[in-house]
Amino acid sequence: MSSAPLFYLSYVLCVTLGFVCVVFVCYWNASWRGGFAWDGSGLQFNWHPVLMVTGLVVLYGNAVVLYRIPLTWGQTKQPWKLLHALELLMAMFFSILGLCAVFDFHHANNIPDLYSLHSWLGISTTVLFTVQWVLGLGAFLFPCSPVPFRALFKPVHVWMGHAIFILSLISCISGINEKLILTLNGRNGSSEEAYSALPAEALFANSLGILIIAFGLVVLKILSNQKWQRPQCNQEESVTPLLPERC
């Protein structure tokens, strides 16, 4: 199979898995966790996994593979830069809102903040993501950005993008596991509902974790294939960021 059809097969799989991940995390919290609210109760906490999976994983993953789409290679690069930045901005907004949901829930119920490894990973990933987005905006979209800085920062920007995505996957998987342990282990004193008994909720949430990993592997496969990288042009690093780029 030639490179382009194989890419689009991988891309369709990426988009499909991302959509299924969002459906699964919404269904899990709507069906087993009772739904959603913003009142300081456990229903407010349910927004946290939905927003983090949707933002940090699915939207972020789709944003980082945007430049790999072959149909965009012969077009002006600037609109795709803006779309890339906008998708990441949406992902960042969802992530920050997801953190607000869990912190507000903790404060309303006198629960300590940032005591678990999952919370350390999650907050670190979101902070790195925010710093990365701001630096990327300044380096690649502001007209006053110095060309040497762009050339120096570009490989760092790419590497950090991949690292943040991997951290996002780890954060979400550890969060699912932590939530299941806290809510199912010995809940109401019933061993039938314990996590080790693998009730229906645990089976479903574990499946969500597998889907997230599958989505991440497809994204990383797309990013690692050198044939699917957008061709570089000699002008790309010499023009100002807001001028058209057709390579």
- How do the pLDDT tens digits run along the chain, 247 residues long? 568 889 999 999 999 999 999 999 999 999 999 999 999 999 999 999 999 999 999 999 999 999 899 888 888 888 899 999 999 999 999 999 999 999 999 999 999 999 999 999 999 999 999 999 999 998 888 877 788 888 889 999 999 999 999 999 999 999 999 999 999 985 544 455 789 899 999 999 999 999 999 999 999 999 999 999 888 764 444 444 444 444 4
From the number of C-beta atoms within 10 Å of its C-beta (0-12, 13-18, 19+), residue 226 rates as exposed
The answer to whether residue 53 sits within a structural domain is yes
The answer to whether residue 237 sits within a structural domain is no
The answer to whether residue 23 sits within a structural domain is yes
The answer to whether residue 30 sits within a structural domain is yes
Dump pLDDT digits (tens) for 109-157: 999 999 999 999 999 999 999 999 999 998 888 877 788 888 889 999 9
The answer to whether residue 247 sits within a structural domain is no
Amino acid at 198: L
The answer to whether residue 245 sits within a structural domain is no
Amino acid at 45: F
Dump pLDDT digits (tens) for 163-181: 999 999 999 999 999 999 9
The answer to whether residue 233 sits within a structural domain is no
Number of domains in the chain: 1
Strand, helix or coil at 180? helix
The answer to whether residue 134 sits within a structural domain is yes
- For the beta carbon of residue 215, count every other beta carbon within 10 angstroms: 25
Q: How far is 221 from 129, CA to CA, in rounded Å? A: 21
Write out the two tokens for 15.
């988009």
Task: Quote the domain boundaries for residue 220.
Answer: 3-228
**CATH number (domain holding residue 103):** 1.20.120.1770
